[in-house]
Chain A
Amino acid sequence: MTTLAHRNPAPPTQAALLKAHTKAQVLEQLRIPVAVISSTVFPTLALLFFVIPQEMVTSNPITALTAIAQLALFGVMSSFLFNYGIGIAEERANPWNSYLRTLPAGPVPSTIARALTAMMFAFFALIPVLILGGLMTSAPEAFTNGELSWSRIPLSVVVWLFCGLPFLALGLFIGYLCTSKVAIAVTQVVFFPMAFAGGMMLPPIMFPDWLNTFSLFLPSRAARDIAVQVLSGQGMHASSVLCLVAWTLVLGGLALWANRRDQGRRFR
């Protein structure tokens, strides 16, 4: 039966651990269909109800692409914030998580696995947005008439996922700081104003000046501008990349601080 180790084979590699953690997390998520469905269909529904009926937006390929990119990033942001913020907070309350910390793996595999899982579900949210956008708006014309290269589409998907990084860090920060009930509330309070002020619901062209200026300092706006630029070839500001990187560093630092603080405080 369960005898002691006789041989002394090498311990599993980080890659093997990462694979095991990712698999477990993906399976856990997939078995809670409500969570999967709500995060994947939300951006698609927003596209269907708020963008498709507006003839003005859908008839122009560039404005259609802008709307698609905005909502795609909206999906990425919600997936990252909710998956991480609430997921981590729930996990902290669960003794299973303490058990996992006694296994011979450092914090890296589970943290990266969580990022990969969040990216995977965000990716699922992007697919229907792209399909619907392709079928029901004039967006494909920008590619068929040769104005834009088709390669922008796969590139956009990758860039969108990376644009979500500051929100991933923000989710971690909230998750390590709050209990799961508080985390749900805080995430929602942070999410909607940030999405709106970042120009993910209404394009920033429609903002009053003061809001536009304020918006340019937000990570959601920077991410939105980059997301729109990479798909439609316009919309980015000189400060966008700098702003996004700065926010990623700041929020990443806060997430790390919250993680340390949490480890120090926790006891039973």
Chain B
Amino acid sequence: MKVPALVAERTSEATSNSASNPTEQRTTAVLASVTNASKSFGNTTALSGINLDIHAGEALGLLGPNGAGKSTLISLLAGLRRADSGRVELFGRNPLDPKARLQLGTTPQATSVPQTLKLRETVDFVAAHYPDPVPTAELLADFGLSKMAEKQCGALSGGQQRRLLVALALVGRPRLVVLDEPTTGLDVDARETLWQRLEEYRRGGGTLLITSHYLEEIQALASRVVVIDRGTVIADGSVDEIRSHVAISKVSFKSQLPASFFESFPQAVSAATSAKGITTVVTQDADATVRQLVREGVEFTGLEVHAASLEEAFLALTRHSSEAATETAKDSA
């Protein structure tokens, strides 16, 4: 079986999981893998022949528009659904086998704690599923929930419920934690606290798979980003790689001309004018855009050029999904 080998390798990789070095991580053990998996619901294809390996020690951010197949992919890995075709493995087993999930930690997507159970009872209940759980009191203290231990879960605020759910994902000392939108609806403070907890978990050698609408969150937590769209992986790399992959930049300046004028520039992806009158052109070639500005004799002031945020890269990727897919294929060849 694969499992003993994984355990032996873990000590060596735990030190090498720095966020800046995804290629090194790819050499570590595979904790979970999805091979050519497809899943349809009626006429809707959620996943079409998707491939993904999750390596020990990495923090993988899963990005994609709504309906791209993120939740379906996670439900396959968490043993909630069976793939129509292809292979899904978790710690060398089928995720539908409860034994495969002994080292997996998950949270539900919505705040859905059992209303009438007390916090302590809820944690005890989940902890009872694992061989060596974190003691309930310790876990609640780590997440700042000690004072609430004897309260019913229904009495918690949204932020406290969310903290409880992430705490539950960690109670079994999992080697892989899957978080589907962990901080949706949280205020900035609560989000920061959760990020800290997840960072600590990572420093301890843990592996993270996270989906989020907050690209900032992916940028903060993930060492590797996988973008999926229409049920397949369209890009896979470090945060920096994903950004450079699409070579997206923002050129901003003040001008009297409407934003639509700049959209017709070659290489331009989009253009918009802010309320303050600053026009921002998202472009695949900042140099060419600036040259064009000068060549057209456009009156502009306050020119700035920035690397695009992950969000902008992501939008460009999904917009040019088909082109990106061929590019990925070319890269991996």
Contact = CB atoms under 8 A, between A and B. Distances in A.
B128 A4 contact: no
* Central interface residue in B10, B75, B104, by most chain A CB within 10 Å: B75
Contact of A102 (B71, B80, B138): B80
Contact of B128 (A8, A17, A95, A106): A17
A20 B134 contact: no
Given A3-B204, A267-B41, A96 B108 contact: yes
A2 B116 CA distance: 26
B142 interface: yes
Q: Report, nearest first, the 9 A-B pairs whose CB atoms are least far apart.
A: A20-B128, A31-B116, A99-B108, A95-B112, A104-B101, A102-B78, A96-B112, A2-B170, A5-B173
* Central interface residue in A94, A102, A104, by most chain B CB within 10 Å: A102
B175 interface: yes
B129 A20 contact: yes
B132 interface: yes
B206 interface: yes
Contacts of A154: none
27 contacts: A1-B201, A2-B171, A3-B205, A5-B173, A8-B7, A8-B131, A11-B99, A12-B131, A20-B124, A20-B129, A23-B121, A24-B122, A27-B117, A28-B114, A95-B109, A98-B80, A99-B107, A101-B79, A101-B80, A102-B78, A102-B79, A103-B98, A104-B98, A104-B100, A106-B98, A267-B75, A267-B81
B173 A267 contact: no
A9 interface: yes
Interface in B123-181: 124-126, 128-132, 134, 138-139, 142, 152, 168, 170-175
A181 interface: no
B255 interface: no
Contacts of B81: 267
B116 to A, nearest CB: 4
Contacts of B110: 95
A189 interface: no
Contacts of A24: 114, 117, 121-122, 125
Contacts, number: 121
A14 to B, nearest CB: 10
B240 to A, nearest CB: 28
Given A4-B173, A267-B41, A104 B112 contact: no
B101 A11 contact: no
A1 B142 contact: yes
Interface residues of A, number: 36
* Central interface residue in B98, B110, B168, B206, by most chain A CB within 10 Å: B98
Given A5-B173, A104-B98, A11 B130 contact: yes
Given A2-B134, A28-B116, 6 more contacts: A9-B131, A28-B114, A99-B107, A103-B98, A104-B99, A104-B102
Nearest to B4: A8
A206 interface: no
Nearest to A24: B125
Contacts of B75: 267
B103 interface: yes
A99 B103 CA distance: 15
Contacts of A4: 10, 173-175, 204-206
Name A's interface SS.
loop
Contacts of A6: 132
Contacts of A104: 98-102, 104, 129-130, 172
A5 B72 CA distance: 28
Nearest to B167: A2
Given A5-B173, A24-B121, A102-B101, A12 B204 contact: no
A27 B131 contact: no
Interface string B74-98: 0100111100000000000000001
B325 interface: no
Nearest to A28: B116
A71 to B, nearest CB: 29
A48 interface: no
A204 to B, nearest CB: 41
Nearest to B109: A95
A17 B108 CA distance: 20
A193 B172 CA distance: 48
A98 B108 contact: yes
Interface in B223-245: none
A9 B132 contact: yes
Contacts of B107: 99
A12 B200 contact: no
Contacts of B46: 267
Contact of B131 (A1, A5, A95): A5
Interface in A62-98: 94-96, 98
A64 B211 CA distance: 64
Contacts of B122: 24
* Central interface residue in B80, B125, B129, B168, by most chain A CB within 10 Å: B129
Nearest to B106: A102
Given A2-B201, A24-B121, A99-B106, A12 B116 contact: no
Contacts of B121: 23-24, 27
B190 interface: no
Contacts of B78: 102
Contacts of A9: 131-132
